[in-house]
Chains A and B, each alone.
Chain A
Amino acid sequence: MSLTFAGGNHRTVPIELREKLAFSSEQATQALARFQQQFPGSEAVLLSTCNRIELYAADGERGGPPPPDELAIFLAECRGVDPSHVGRALGGEQGTAAVKHLFCVAAGLDSMVLGEPQIVAQVKQAWQLAQQSGTTGPLTGELFQAALRAAKRVTNETVVGRERLSIPSIAVADFASGVFERFDDKRVLLIGAGKMAAETLRYLGDAGARNIRIINRSIERAHELAERLGAHTGNYNDLSHELIEADLVVSTTGATEPVVSLSLYQEIERQRQGRPLVILDLAVPRDFDSRIGGRPGVWLYSIDDLSQACDSNRRRRQKELPAALTIVEEETRRFMGELHHRSTVPVIEQLRAGWNETGEVELHRLFHKLPELDENSQQEIRQAFERYAAKMLHPPMVSLRSESKAGPPHRLLEALRRLFDLKE
């Protein structure tokens, strides 16, 4: 009863090879079907994302699943890559190391961006695809459930997956949301129509922003973006008026000089009637004169300010890595303990069956000798026998469970077999 995996990720496999080895979901289904033919009785789950290709295999019935190098060759052959080219790029692990690796992957600890949350969904999808392909079984079932549980614990108990790392998400969630409670009653002004603007607006839309106005020197691009995001367009020449009306400004123009100078802002300041203004200046060079940030009621954030917050979050994630790894270690130990304990089940069942059989024989003899016993009395005696058997079995079961935590309890099982004359 063991587990193996073979594969590689962004650190071990060059992008050219990763592209060749990547599986679409259709190709993954075909590969799993081929796996079933090639390794009948083994369980398999194939995880293929932009940054990793990994094949997990388990076998509870035979001597064990295919070893990692065999799995690596299988992966290469499935994608029509010469196995000799795969070389050292695809590695692998067995047993506890394989389990720990999967737990790290699911928790985002092995990802390019530490703690990125998408990987959990990708692990889930891989598992579901294997289920549909009929290559899963009790071992991979428990393994992947335990992996998702480990990932959930890492998310809940550390900040590894919580701190935001993208500039638009930090701009909206950590800064704009610090000023405004809600966005559905706020007017958002987008100056320029850059890529980062669109992403920021997507976050603002998720936060509830509905009243969005886009102004751009090129009105066609503004229209295009407005149509895509369900926003309205305005006239670039009405910038002052738009600034008076806006509560939140996202600016991403390619202008070489500031679009809004301090004097322009001071001209319109009074007409804003004291309403707070959040400015997310994502342009380089900056679109807003930095002195505007010093005006009362103005919260101005440049791309540098937001990048610093990103770096600080990244450092915080990194700081939490040891705590996350401790959780992974705990969950791995727990899973391996349960896995080893599973190997003791046949012995325990044999032991229990033997005791029950002996008990039944003795009960039959007793009831035969005491025919005056009514049904209730017989039931009472039967229950007493069952309780006695359960209590006698309890200490060996506790010992087995305790031994299982350290590894497969082979010696204890052997001793039980010899003591109670149990079959292999």
Chain B
Amino acid sequence: MADFISRISVVCFAASYGVALIFEASRLWFRSGVRGITMIGFVTAGLFAHSLYLIWRSTTLPSMPLSSAFDWYLLAAWLLAAGSLWMTLSNPRTPVGLFVLPIVLALIGAAELSSREPFPQSPATQIWGVIHGSFNLVMSVAIVLGGLAGGMWLIQAGRLARKQAPIQGFRMPSLEKLSIWSSRMTVIAATSGSFGFLSGIILNIVNQQRGLIGSVPWTDPVVLRMGALVAWLIVVAATARTMRQHAIGRRVTAVLSLVSFTMLTLSILWGVLGNTQHGLAPTQESAFLSAGLVEDAS
């Protein structure tokens, strides 16, 4: 069994999601009685392999979950794939996979381009690291889901404004439902983003005070980008709340959610392709200090 699990690769579940996406996209062109169940089968198979892969990583690496950028992206992809499956099962006539699965695949792609080196951790900072990573994960997933809801809202509103009947196989959820999703995700993203940023500050302070590994300068591009993103999310959540009783409020929330999603995408791209000290392995000196501290602590 262990041998079987260890042979599961990223390609296995990425391919399953890819095939599921092709099946989902085919609903735009033709009808089929077995497509839905086949598509769900491929997502489930992908999710199963994905879960086994993450479990295998967690048993072979000491500091899971979220021990590296690679794992972080894979966990985010797993959450979205699970969400996609759940939404597909609860809304079988809505092409949820068509929107979510490309993002799942993009996150898996980002994981492949990211470092698999574990984030520098010491026993003193590990808990803050996990809290920081978890809040950021929730924020990112909420931004993605909010952005998707916003995008779908705009598509649905466009269709209704043009007075067109729904396209075959492309029945969107109602504006009411999308609006609720979008505004809820906005609040969740702002809240978790704020806590994620705060826990990051605490993590950095602890590291700096002890002159330890993983210390990030305040001017680090990732810190600045994340700070800006969190500030933006707070503005979006406040705007969405203020505009709730305006006729254009729902449209504004949808557009802002989509902008948040774009900002997150750019931020991830920048993170994957750019240079940063954030989350990098310790230098030789700090690694030495870290080892000394660990010895002291023990």
Contacts and interface: CB of A to CB of B under 8 A. Distances in A.
Please say whether chains A and B are actual partners in one complex: yes
Interface of A: 156-159, 163, 170, 174-175, 177-182, 269, 272-274, 276, 295-299, 301, 305, 308-309, 312-313, 316
Given A177-B174, A180-B174, A305-B163, 12 more contacts: A157-B32, A158-B31, A159-B168, A178-B156, A178-B159, A178-B166, A181-B173, A181-B177, A274-B250, A276-B247, A296-B247, A297-B248
B90 interface: no
B33 interface: yes
Given A178-B172, A308-B163, A295 B247 contact: yes
Interface string B169-193: 0001111110000000000000000
Which among B31, B32, B163 has the highest number of chain A CB atoms within 10 Å? B163
Contacts of B250: 274, 276, 297
Interface string B147-173: 000000000100111011110100011
Which among B33, B165, B245, B248 has the highest number of chain A CB atoms within 10 Å? B165
Given A158-B31, A276-B250, A316-B168, A181 B163 contact: no
Given A159-B31, A274-B249, A313 B165 contact: yes
Contact of A297 (B31, B159, B166, B247): B247
Contacts of A309: 163-165
B246 A274 contact: yes
Interface string B250-266: 11000000000000000
A159 B177 CA distance: 26
Given A157-B32, A308-B163, A274 B245 contact: yes
B244 interface: yes
Contacts of A295: 247
A258 B32 CA distance: 46
Nearest to B166: A174
B266 to A, nearest CB: 29
Nearest to B175: A179
19 contacts: A156-B33, A157-B31, A157-B32, A174-B165, A174-B166, A175-B163, A179-B176, A181-B176, A182-B176, A269-B247, A274-B245, A274-B249, A276-B176, A276-B247, A295-B247, A297-B248, A308-B163, A309-B163, A313-B165
B287 to A, nearest CB: 55
Which among A178, A296, A297, A313 has the highest number of chain B CB atoms within 10 Å? A178
Given A295-B247, A309-B165, A312-B165, A175 B31 contact: no
Interface of B: 31-33, 156, 159-161, 163-166, 168, 172-177, 243-251
The 8 A-B residue pairs with the shortest CB-CB distance, nearest first, are A297-B247, A296-B247, A181-B176, A181-B174, A305-B163, A309-B165, A181-B177, A296-B248
Contacts of A179: 160, 174-176
A157 B33 CA distance: 6
Nearest to B161: A299
Contacts of A299: 160-161
A310 to B, nearest CB: 9
A299 B164 CA distance: 12
B160 A175 contact: yes
Given A158-B31, A178-B174, A178-B175, A301 B248 contact: no
B245 A273 contact: yes
Contacts of B172: 178
Nearest to A162: B168
Contacts of A175: 160, 163
Contacts of B164: 309, 312
B35 to A, nearest CB: 11
A298 to B, nearest CB: 8
A154 to B, nearest CB: 11
B249 to A, nearest CB: 5
A163 B33 CA distance: 17
A292 B120 CA distance: 60
A180 B166 CA distance: 15
Nearest to A296: B247
A274 B247 contact: yes
Contacts of A182: 176
A180 B176 contact: yes
B152 to A, nearest CB: 11
Contacts of B249: 274
A323 to B, nearest CB: 8
Contacts of B166: 174, 178
Nearest to B173: A181
A279 to B, nearest CB: 12
Contact of B175 (A157, A276, A301): A276
Nearest to A278: B160
Contacts of A305: 163
Contacts of B168: 159, 316
